[in-house]
Chains A and B, each alone.
Chain A
Amino acid sequence: MQDEGLDVQSARNADHFGMLIHHLALLRNKRCLMAYVHKRSEIIQSLSWKLGRVLPEEIEQKLSDPEKRYFKSHSSALRLYMRELGGLDLTVDMVPPKDPYIKVRVLDDIGVTAMGDRDTNLARHSIHFLKRTDAEHYIFQGMMEELLG
């Protein structure tokens, strides 16, 4: 009689530990999945800093639909914050300034753009002397490069 009770008890224990292992495996799988999507979300966050609101096609292709939506909503949250600050753009000035003006070469045909108080024709391969904050966005988007010396 007592033996039987013990058997039932240990069978229940065995079920319990079997279940526990399944539970732990589920948590583990969840953690792995979450770490993966979270890592991607961090990359998307940094994209919204570097690239503004529009993704280049070659990157957009690689994102899932929820990721595309996340990119949009996150970069609009950033823009909203900057607007609440009174329009202070935090995505420029990413490196400490040295000279107010830098020499750049245009890599893409950007066309005529307002630079300061006058229009400048940013044709491909042309070289310009621009305000650092004006040029920064183009450099980050790979449309210009800084010329040294």
Chain B
Amino acid sequence: MANESGISMDDFESLMATSDVELLKKAWRNEKSAPEILQFQTSLVQRSLEQIQLMEETIEEFSKKGFDPLIVSIYQMDLDRAQYMLRSYLRIRIQKIEKDTVHIAKTDQWDQLSKEEQNFAKRCYENMKGYLDESVLSKLPSGYQSDLKQSNASEENDMVPEPNSDTFVFCKSDSSIGAIPLDDNADEIVDLVADDLYVLRYKSIKPFVENGQIDLV
């Protein structure tokens, strides 16, 4: 049956088993659990988009050629799952940007955004500022009208909410990493063993999440 279509089943299998799906799953899970926004996976997202399109075309061809509807719908389900993951990944990021717009814009997290996300963040901030100005800020006494500082007396931006990096996350690692200090003084240390599940402060494992040694779950 497969051979009639011109696309062999084997090709299709290998297409779907590509590690990109696994990479996307990993990026998606990390993004889902991390309190702050992580580095945008530019090329991974690009590849995923292309593969999803390829799968769509393949499925269409399958159904045109009158393949068993059951088989078509199984491929459709697989496509659905990949598409869900990609949408969810992008969505979580956008929702983080909505929430912490100013914080992201003012820190090095800005560089973790894709070009499109940066555009969105800019518009998001303008809209929010316009709304806050109109509703409250413009009606306050001068010296208290800033959307970043409580008053002119504030030395820094003391109105900007930040993601809470003290929050606890579930995580595990493929390989043994060794001792990780849990606080600044290194008073407490945890020895990370491969494939064991841990609940730790995001702050203490952040560098390992960023370099891919620890996965959030």
Contacts and interface: CB of A to CB of B under 8 A. Distances in A.
Interface string A83-114: 01110111011001101110000000000000
B122 to A, nearest CB: 9
A88 B46 CA distance: 12
Nearest to B86: A88
A92 B88 CA distance: 9
A84 B151 contact: no
A38 B133 CA distance: 12
Contacts of B90: 85, 88, 90
Contacts of B73: 100-101
A21 interface: no
A84 B98 CA distance: 17
Interface of A: 23, 26-27, 30-31, 33-34, 37-38, 41-42, 45, 64-67, 69-70, 73-74, 77-78, 80-81, 84-86, 88-90, 92-93, 96-97, 99-101, 132
Given A41-B132, A92-B87, 15 more contacts: A26-B144, A30-B150, A30-B151, A34-B132, A37-B136, A41-B131, A66-B130, A74-B124, A85-B116, A88-B49, A89-B87, A93-B87, A97-B80, A97-B81, A100-B76
11 contacts: A23-B151, A26-B144, A38-B132, A41-B131, A67-B131, A70-B128, A74-B127, A78-B120, A90-B90, A90-B94, A92-B87
